[in-house]
Structure 1
Amino acid sequence: MKSEFLEKKKWLVRFISFISVVILFIIWFLVTNLGWVDSYFIPKPQDVWSSFIVLVTEGYKGASLFTHISNSLFRLFTALLFAFITAVPLGLLCGYSNYIRAIFDPIIEFYRPWPPLAYYALLVLWLGIEDESKIALLYLSAFAPLFIATVASVQKLPVDRINAALSLGAKKRNILWHIILPSCQPDILTGLRTAIGITYATLVAAEMVAATSGIGWMVLDASKYLRSDIVFVGIMIMGIIAILLDGLLRLYQSRRFSWVGK
């Protein structure tokens, strides 16, 4: 009985979300088609759809829409991969040892609040104008939230859990792998979701300099010519991809860590 109630509640929440999106679309349609807002600022939904069809069939500035999307996703996933394989192990070590955290924490906390464009010029000087500098910028934006989430997860781990493992004969070198890492996985996944959001926000900045492809570059380039319809298409594509990525992570989180919060 309780499971049926929870299932109905879940579907009700999804229905409310769907209705909110429909209402937002209706407001957009009415505001633009009734002429309350100039189409230069907010294009009509039908114009956005027409531009999407043109982009799918003809591409943009000599490259297909798939090419723009795949180039952006390559930069994004490469940066996230490097951030994950470096931030998580370092975060585990820093959360476990105050001495190691004392070395890295000031550096990360110092650069973390910087706007991406503040140091992007340096990355271009050091790494050039190709994908290396763009991936490095995305990497730095993803590293900090992953690192902080991992450190915080280790620090809130109950000491009794570690002491119990030690009392049962576990070696200190195995505590990190068999106790700390499994316990921190839900928070690490949450940190990864946060990192994806922040990295997406940095994507346009990463493709500002010497780029000729990428969904972020397409949005930026279209804005120069007041093509708000193409800007809307690019923003919507980025939003849909982000929702799909986050949805996959949330699905995995609910299946793999169904006990969290219960």
Structure 2
Amino acid sequence: MRKFFAIRTKINLKIFNALAAGVFLLILILWMVLSEQGSISPIFLPTPRSVFGYLANVMTTGQIWSDIGISFYRIFMGFILAAVIGIPLGILAGTFNFAEALIQPVSEFIRYMPVPAFVPLIMVWVGINESAKIAVIFLGTLFQLIPMVADSVRAVPDDLLSAAYTLGAKPRTVILKVIIPAIAPRTMDTLRIMMGWAWTYLVVAELVAANSGLGYSILKAQRFLKTDAIFGGILIIGFLGLMTDRLFVLANRKLFPWAEGGS
């Protein structure tokens, strides 16, 4: 028991997985008890049976697969665009003081603005096609990403930079050979967090004149008070988000094993 409460001490993987699965099971049991006893109307809290029945139906008929595909497309396009622009800007802001003055204050200012407030402007700027949905996710993640990458660059030990300069490295070489490799594992973790932001902005993105997608299916179910469909859509988004999160963790371990003490 003492080992469980030791700070940063790893526990057996089987115990870890059992504890994680136990939490999900506990939530499911609590949900079943609250919904099945009849004290709460199904309009407010559908039963697990009705939700999983809805999911089985839409997956069997194939109705949901196209929504999953289009939502994946929107999320990954917005996310990739944000990463391609945000990572270089973050590296510049964390490396050069003048770049920090040009980039970071604006990023910090914009990242506190609510993305849904930009929806009317996005519709004016880029129309109501797929570009609008991608733009919502892009804006929601870009200005969160830049300061986090900049902080990762600032966390690189000065000793590494001094050693590189002592060996005759130029600033460009220091960035390419020291800073970027040093921040790579942490940047992967940052992208993992940003992917979570992208999934949360999905419903907002699909407010923009959408007629497909997981967010749209949730909003459509809301109009008819089909809470089983709402819960089902939320569970699908949560499951897909968890899968992408685990893929990022796996990629980080494979690409940068030294970051967690591997060899």
Q: Within 5 A, what are the aligned runs for 1:2-13? A: 9-13=12-16
1:28 maps to which residue?
A: 31
* Pair 1:45-2:44 in alignment: no
Change in CA separation of 1:97 and 1:8 when aligned onto 2, cut-off 3 Å: closer
* Pair 1:191-2:190 in alignment: yes
* Pair 1:164-2:163 in alignment: yes
For the 8 Å contact 1:145–1:194, the answer to whether it is kept is: no
Any idea what the Cα deviations from partners look like across 1:174-203, whole Å, max 9, x if unmatched? 111110001001221121111111111111
Any idea what the Cα deviations from partners look like across 1:64-91, whole Å, max 9, x if unmatched? 3111011011000001111111111111
For the 8 Å contact 1:138–1:202, the answer to whether it is kept is: yes
For the 8 Å contact 2:107–2:147, the answer to whether it is kept is: no
Amino acid at match of 2:155: K
2:5 maps to which residue?
A: none
Tell me the distance in 2 between the aligned counterparts of 1:148 and 1:11.
Answer: 37
Tell me the distance in 2 between the aligned counterparts of 1:141 and 1:210.
Answer: 18
Tell me the distance in 2 between the aligned counterparts of 1:65 and 1:247.
Answer: 23
* Stretch deviating more after TM superposition (48-57 or 15-24): 48-57
Tell me the distance in 2 between the aligned counterparts of 1:219 and 1:155.
Answer: 41
Q: Within 5 A, what are the aligned runs for 1:110-259? A: 110-259=109-258
* Pair 1:55-2:95 in alignment: no
CA drift at 1:54 = 2.2
CA drift at 1:8 = 6.0
Tell me the distance in 2 between the aligned counterparts of 1:224 and 1:29.
Answer: 25
For the 8 Å contact 2:78–2:134, the answer to whether it is kept is: yes
For the 8 Å contact 1:95–1:154, the answer to whether it is kept is: yes
CA drift at 1:253 = 2.0
For the 8 Å contact 1:222–1:230, the answer to whether it is kept is: yes
SS class of match (2:258): coil
CA drift at 1:134 = 1.1
CA drift at 1:255 = 3.4
Amino acid at match of 1:92: I
Please give the TM-score of this superposition, normalised by the length of structure 1: 0.92
Q: Please, which runs of 5 or more residues in structure 2 have no aligned partner?
A: 1-8
Any idea what the Cα deviations from partners look like across 1:94-132, whole Å, max 9, x if unmatched? 111010111111221111011111111101111001111
Any idea what the Cα deviations from partners look like across 1:182-237, whole Å, max 9, x if unmatched? 10012211211111111111110110121000001111110111000001110010
> What's the % identity of the aligned pairs?
30
Change in CA separation of 1:33 and 1:113 when aligned onto 2, cut-off 3 Å: same
Tell me the distance in 2 between the aligned counterparts of 1:257 and 1:171.
Answer: 25
Tell me the distance in 2 between the aligned counterparts of 1:122 and 1:183.
Answer: 39
Tell me the distance in 1 between the aligned counterparts of 2:224 and 2:57.
Answer: 17
Tell me the distance in 2 between the aligned counterparts of 1:133 and 1:104.
Answer: 24
How many residue pairs were aligned? 253
Tell me the distance in 2 between the aligned counterparts of 1:156 and 1:20.
Answer: 35
Amino acid at match of 1:100: A
Report the RMSD for the aligned CA atoms in angstroms.
1.6
Tell me the distance in 2 between the aligned counterparts of 1:52 and 1:10.
Answer: 31
SS class of match (1:123): helix
CA drift at 1:53 = 2.2
Tell me the distance in 2 between the aligned counterparts of 1:57 and 1:21.
Answer: 25
